[in-house]
C-alpha cells in the first residue's frame, strides 16, 4: 500500500533477527555503484529511451580497472546499472534490441554485465545489478501485464547468466502509482538468486535511507514498517508489518549519477563526513563512481578515492581493540572496555551483537571518572563517535539501554593530526527529477 504519510520508527518495534545474508551484507558495509549506459554518451542524467544505441561506444572499457578501484577503496561489493530508466541494456538481452548488441562497441558482440561479472570473480568482489522497473524505451511499459513478462524475462537473464548476485537494486524513480509483479519477481529471485539482497521494493531485504546525500541518521533502525519510494515523489510504501530492512546510503562521488563533462569529485572532507554519517551510524554506504566515455574511472575520480582511502587509513588504520567486561541487566547494562594500556584517542567505535536483532536504543560512552565522552541512540553493526577532543585513558565505559543488549567490540582510534572535516554548505543532491 502506498500513502504519503511518513511512519516514524518506534522504539517499541519487535525484535526481528537478520537473515545470515543480511548480517553478512551489513558487515560488508561498503559498496561501489557504477552508473554507466547510454546517458554517459548523451550527457544526460535521465534520457527518454530515444537516444540511439549507436552512441554507446566506449573506447577503452575496462571493468578490471573499475573493480580494482573499488577493491582498493575497501569496497566489498559493486552494483552496476544493467538497465537505467531509459531502457538501454548493458547486456545482449533477447528481450529488446535497445542494448549493447545494437552499439558499435566490440562490433555489437560486447557484454558489460558479463565483463564486470568476470572482473568481480577475478578480484573476489561481490556483484550487484540494478534493473530499473521504469522503462522509457519499451513500448510494453504502457501495458502492465505485457511489461511484467518482459521485465521478468530480463531479470531471469540477469539472474541466470552472470553467476552469484549479491544485490538486486530496484529503483523506485518513475514508478509512483505503478504496481509491478512483485510476487513473481520474488519467486524468481528465490529460485535463482536466493542469497541476493533486494533493494527497497517488493520482496525487499534492505531499504533506501531516504536521501541521495549518503547520510543516515540516529536512530538508525533496522526494523521498519515503511520505506521511502524515491527521491522525487513523496510516496511512502507502507509494509503492513514490521520487517528487518537495514538501510543503504547511496550517494555519487560527483554531482550526477552518470559521468558528465565538467563535474568534479567530492572533496575528501565531504567524503569523510559521508563515511561517518553512513557506515559510522551502522548503515551501508553505496558510493557511486561513474565510468567515463572511455569506459574507465577517470584519473581525477580514481585519485580522489586513493586520497579518501588514505584519509580513512590515517584515522582508522591503527585501531586499538579493548577487552570487554560486561555487567548486564535485563534492560541494558554497563560494559567496561579495557585497552591494552594507556592510549591516546579521539574516536570510539562500538559494535552491538545484532545476530538476534537490534537491541540498543540508547548509549553513552564515559571515561573512568564518569565524564560523558559521547552519547547516542542506536549502535547496530557499527557506531563511530568522533570525540570533541583527544582523550588519554586505559579504559572507557559504555552504558547501554535496550532489552537483552550486548556489545561485541569496542575499539578506539587516534586520528590526531588528521583534520576533523566539516560538511560543505552545498552538500545536498538535487531532489528534483533530472531534466531529459
Ligand atoms: C535515482 C535515479 O533516478 C537516479 O538516476 C539514480 O539511478 C539513483 C541511484 O536513483 O532515483
Is 50 found in the same domain as 25? yes
| Residue 10 counted as domain residue | no
Cis-peptide into 219, omega within 30 deg: yes
Q: 238: how many CB neighbours lie within 10 A of its CB?
A: 14
Is 384 found in the same domain as 366? yes
Of 316, 349, 370, the one marking the end of a domain is 316
| Residue 178 counted as domain residue | yes
Q: Strands 2-3 and 236-244, how do they pair?
A: antiparallel
Query: What's the whole-number mean pLDDT along residues 184-211?
Result: 97
CA atoms within 13 A on the CB side of 50: 2
Nearest Cα residue to atom 4 of ligand 1: 257
Q: Strands 77-83 and 30-34, how do they pair?
A: parallel
Is 159 found in the same domain as 199? yes
Of 316, 339, 372, the one marking the end of a domain is 316
Mean pLDDT taken over the chain: 94
Is 376 found in the same domain as 230? no
Residue-wise pLDDT tens digits, 283-301: 999 999 999 999 999 999 9
Q: Strands 383-401 and 332-352, how do they pair?
A: antiparallel
Is 388 found in the same domain as 290? no
For helices 63-73 and 299-316, what crossing angle results, to 10°?
20
pTM for the model stands at 0.95
| Residue 140 counted as domain residue | yes
Nearest Cα residue to atom 1 of ligand 1: 173
Residue 340 has pLDDT above 80, yes or no: yes
| Residue 427 counted as domain residue | no
Among 173, 208, 252, 253, say which to mutate for ligand 1: greatest number of ligand atoms within 8 Å of CB.
Answer: 173
Task: Check if the beta carbon of residue 373 is closer than 8 Å to that of residue 397.
Answer: no
Is 100 found in the same domain as 173? yes
Is 329 found in the same domain as 272? no
Task: Check if the beta carbon of residue 100 is closer than 8 Å to that of residue 110.
Answer: yes
Q: Which residues contact 182 (CB under 8 A, 6 or more apart)?
A: 201, 202, 203
Q: 383: how many CB neighbours lie within 10 A of its CB?
A: 26
Specify the CATH number for the domain of residue 334.
2.60.120.260
Locate the ligand 1 atom nearest the alpha carbon of residue 258 and give its number: 5
Is 263 found in the same domain as 343? no
In the structure, what pLDDT confidence band is assigned to residue 419 with cuts at 50, 70 and 90? low
Of 294, 316, 338, the one marking the end of a domain is 316
Is 282 found in the same domain as 266? yes
CB under 6 Å to ligand 1: residues? Answer: 45, 171, 173, 230-231, 250, 257
Among 85, 128, 212, say which to mutate for ligand 1: greatest number of ligand atoms within 8 Å of CB.
Answer: 212
Domain range enclosing 400: 320-413
Tally of domains in the chain: 2
H/E run at residue 394:
strand 383-401
Q: What per-residue confidence (pLDDT) applies to 283?
A: 98
Bridge partners of 129?
80, 168
| Residue 1 counted as domain residue | no
Is 237 found in the same domain as 345? no
Residue 1 has pLDDT above 50, yes or no: no
Locate the ligand 1 atom nearest the alpha carbon of residue 130 and give its number: 7
| Residue 12 counted as domain residue | no
Specify the CATH number for the domain of residue 101.
3.20.20.80
Task: Tell which phi-psi region holds residue 273, choosing left (phi > 0), alpha (psi between -120 and 50) or beta.
Answer: alpha
Nearest Cα residue to atom 10 of ligand 1: 171
In the structure, what pLDDT confidence band is assigned to residue 10 with cuts at 50, 70 and 90? very low
Q: How far apart are CA 227 and CA 313, in angstroms?
A: 34
Percentage of the chain beyond pLDDT 90 is: 90
Q: What is the Å distance from ligand 1's center to 431 Cα?
A: 10
CA atoms within 13 A on the CB side of 178: 22
Q: What is the Å distance from ligand 1's center to 249 Cα?
A: 12
Amino acid at each position: 500500500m502506498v500513502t504519503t504519510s511518513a511512519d516514524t520508527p518506534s522504539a517499541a518495534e519487535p525484535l526481528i533477527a537478520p537473515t545470515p545474508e543480511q548480517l553478512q551484507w551489513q558487515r560488508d558495509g561498503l559498496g561501489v555503484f557504477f552508473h554507466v549506459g547510454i546517458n554517459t554518451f548523451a550527457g544526460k542524467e535521465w534520457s527518454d529511451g530515444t537516444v540511439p544505441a549507436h552512441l554507446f561506444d566506449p573506447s577503452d572499457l575496462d571493468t578490471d580497472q573499475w573493480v580494482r578501484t573499488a577493491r582498493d577503496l575497501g569496497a566489498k561489493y559493486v552494483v552496476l546499472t544493467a538497465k537505467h530508466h531509459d531502457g538501454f541494456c548493458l547486456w545482449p538481452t533477447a528481450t529488446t534490441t535497445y542494448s549493447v548488441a545494437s552499439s558499435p562497441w566490440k562490433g555489437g558482440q560486447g557484454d558489460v554485465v558479463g565483463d564486470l561479472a568476470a572482473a568481480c570473480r577475478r578480484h573476489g568482489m561481490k556483484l550487484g545489478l540494478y534493473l530499473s522497473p521504469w522503462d522509457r524505451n519499451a513500448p510494453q511499459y504502457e501495458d502492465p501485464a505485457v511489461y511484467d513478462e518482459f521485465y521478468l524475462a530480463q531479470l531471469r537473464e540477469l539472474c541466470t547468466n552472470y553467476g552469484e548476485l549479491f544485490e538486486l537494486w530496484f529503483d523506485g524513480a518513475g514508478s509512483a502509482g505503478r504496481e509491478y509483479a512483485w510476487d513473481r519477481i520474488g519467486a524468481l529471485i528465490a529460485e535463482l538468486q536466493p542469497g541476493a539482497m533486494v533493494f527497497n521494493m517488493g520482496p525487499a531485504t534492505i531499504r533506501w535511507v531516504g536521501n541521495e546525500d549518503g547520510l543516515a541518521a540516529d536512530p538508525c533502525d533496522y526494523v521498519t514498517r515503511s520505506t521511502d519510494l524515491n527521491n522525487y515523489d513523496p510516496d511512502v510504501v507502507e509494509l503492513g508489518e514490521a520487517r528487518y530492512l537495514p538501510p543503504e546510503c547511496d550517494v555519487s562521488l560527483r554531482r550526477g549519477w552518470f559521468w558528465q563533462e565538467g563535474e568534479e569529485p567530492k572533496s575528501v572532507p565531504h567524503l569523510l563526513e559521508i563515511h561517518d554519517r553512513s557506515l559510522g551510524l551502522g548503515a551501508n554506504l553505496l558510493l557511486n563512481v561513474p565510468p567515463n566515455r572511455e569506459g574507465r574511472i577517470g584519473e581525477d575520480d580514481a585519485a580522489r578515492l586513493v586520497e579518501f582511502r588514505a584519509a580513512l587509513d590515517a584515522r582508522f588504520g591503527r585501531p586499538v581493540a579493548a577487552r570487554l567486561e560486561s555487567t548486564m541487566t535485563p534492560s541494558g547494562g554497563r560494559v567496561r572496555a579495557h585497552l591494552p594500556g594507556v592510549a591516546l584517542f579521539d574516536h570510539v567505535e562500538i559494535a552491538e551483537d545484532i545476530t538476534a536483532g537490534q537491541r540498543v536504543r540508547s548509549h553513552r560512552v564515559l571515561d573512568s571518572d564518569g565524564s560523558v565522552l559521547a552519547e547516542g541512540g542506536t549502535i547496530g553493526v557499527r557506531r563511530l563517535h568522533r570525540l570533541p577532543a583527544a582523550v588519554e585513558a586505559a579504559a572507557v565505559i559504555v552504558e547501554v539501554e535496550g532489552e537483552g543488549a550486548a556489545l561485541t567490540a569496542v575499539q578506539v582510534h587516534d586520528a590526531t593530526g588528521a583534520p576533523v572535516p566539516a560538511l560543505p554548505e552545498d552538500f545536498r543532491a538535487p531532489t528534483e527529477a533530472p531534466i531529459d
